[in-house]
Structure 1
Amino acid sequence: MSRAFNFCAGPAALPEAVLRQAQEELLDFRGTGMSVMEMSHRDQVVVELARRAEQDLRDLLGISDDYAVLFLHGGASTQFAMVPLNLMGDNGKADYINTGQWSSKAIKEARRYGDINVAASSEDRNFSYVPPQADWTLSADADYVHYCPNETIGGLEFDFIPEVDKPLVADMSSTILSRPLDVNRFGLIYAGAQKNIGPAGITLVIVRRDLLGRAGASVPAMLNYQIHADNDSMYNTPPTFAWYLAGLVFQWLKDQGGLTAMAAINERKAKRLYDFIDASGFYSNPVEKADRSRMNVPFVLANSDLDKDFLDEAGAAGLHNLKGHRSVGGMRASIYNAVPEAAVEALVAFMADFEKRHG
């Protein structure tokens, strides 16, 4: 069976080596005679699996003991509520940077719980650029500053980490583990798994320990970071199979040479695709060059009437999930860690041939 090249924004491609190992262990996990899906999360085998996954993640990102690492339910969208519920103090105020749909959704949800100041926005130009920090209007009394370093839908990415004097919170769902990261510059990082971590169903939270314990008495237990930290992310039954697969991905990343090696590969993939688009008169990318995402590459055809033909022919060529998000249209190639360079080369070759025949 030949594997298709999968450019889905999420749930996204997983490393083939990870899938094969999961396949081999599916019925008999490490000699137990059971699948890991069937085992209690209190079983020592599963507890050790979880411990190993956390340690591998800490190794990859250089996460110190000053931070708790949580593996939770609910996706990044649940974090839109958990962040203000846990981090808003007496001021009840936070600064948010709006650079796309995920930022906008985070802002909308946070406004249920406090006073949200949109300190900067690129909505005036259809989220095609990152507002320079010099133009931000940050609040003196904000409890934290929130931003989304990479907007999956619009293909917009910060090329800097903001310098702020409040805890910095980042939705890193679509960029985490794609390159090295200085975790110490953040108060809290959260990420849905289904891009670079593993399958949908588990959410990663990295939170500085001094920010724990701030949730009010009315915050439900399942939305309280402190409770999850106190219970090693096992306050209730966690998504054990997704946690197991995430652990395999972390091991795979180590085998590839870690995040420095992945960064070099990801840079090559993005450059190859953007260089082709920029040299073409048939395809175009709407984002300012300095702010382009290395994970999500949106592009449009000069003649949108050809969109369906492009997608149909791409699918027939084994290039899948290239349709842009329904809110923006066009095309989008998500080129996360598990998408090999061969996939990008195949996509560029197809795009060149399609342009030759239809341009």
Structure 2
Amino acid sequence: MNVLEKKEQAKKLYEDRKVKLAVLGLVLAWISALSLVIFQNFNVRVTEMIGGHFAETLLFTYILSLVVLGICELFGGILMIIFNTVRGIPLAEYPRIWRVKASRVVLASAFLGGPVATACSIVGISFCGSTYGNCIIGLTPVVTAILGTIFLKEKTGVRVFVGIFITVVGVVIASIAPPEGVSNFYLGLLITAAAPIGYAIEAVLSTKAIDISDPLIVCPLYRMIGGGCMELCCALIICTVTGHAGWIGEIFTLIFSDKVILLFLLLAMVFLTIQYNEIYVAYSYCGATRGSAILFSSPIWSIPIGLVMDRMGILSFSVTLMGIIGAAVLVVGIFVVLAKPSELFNLRDVS
């Protein structure tokens, strides 16, 4: 075998490896999308079980969402650090990352991703249902594209605006009529609308920090443990200011006195941790564009997952035909916004 043939063989092996990693990345992103929906459903179920012991007010629902999310992120972050330690990342890396000032931007962005985006999405989904809430959350790539054009001076072509139009049409179709048994449908949609805005601003703020630091170290340190602490602090501050400081203790008492609530909370934490881990690894394997396209296809996956959980008696779920059509249209729009179909599935060009 001559030198030229050896170079061609090495090139083919390298390209084959890139394809395999890209395929693995797409699979991990899909697992992340499924985990996101399952986490949401278990989180909503926990808040419903605890909320049944209190007067149903919007303020309490938000406080409860902050507390439950804070617990999931805080202990999920610890679980991620344990996972990282097992796979060979020493604990000394976390103090080193803390000393990198630019990485702390993720801590600031976690406020928008946690108390604003995720907490509001959980409250909204509890009112309007999983599929409809995820349709609103699915607007995140659209809002990110708009903010990227304005603040990051990213180039936006006709294709992106066509995709934005398609996603908006999908949301409108899905939101025409509420499903049976869902209360405060339009209020839920309105509250969930804070999620794509918060997630998009978080993405813009944290991009630079993620570029200079290992995301699987930054994520548990800032986004999860830091975010979880912020959510619990926000809940305590709001309760104190509004004269409901006793709520926090009562919520914790209910959580640790009911084995079913504790089990569902543990499952929510596990699936949240999987969602964080899988999507960051997916981004490194198949790229952020492809990974995001799969992750924000969650409106489609919320339908079969919701039906299964409804059949198991875990969480009630219903969806209209217009909701299914709207979710499908929205996912098509997301793919158009994020990439040309030829770019999205041309795995040999993975960077």
Q: Same fold (TM over 0.5)?
A: no
| Structure with greater contact order relative to length (CA < 8 Å, sep ≥ 6) | 2
Using the size of structure 2 for normalisation, the TM-score is 0.28
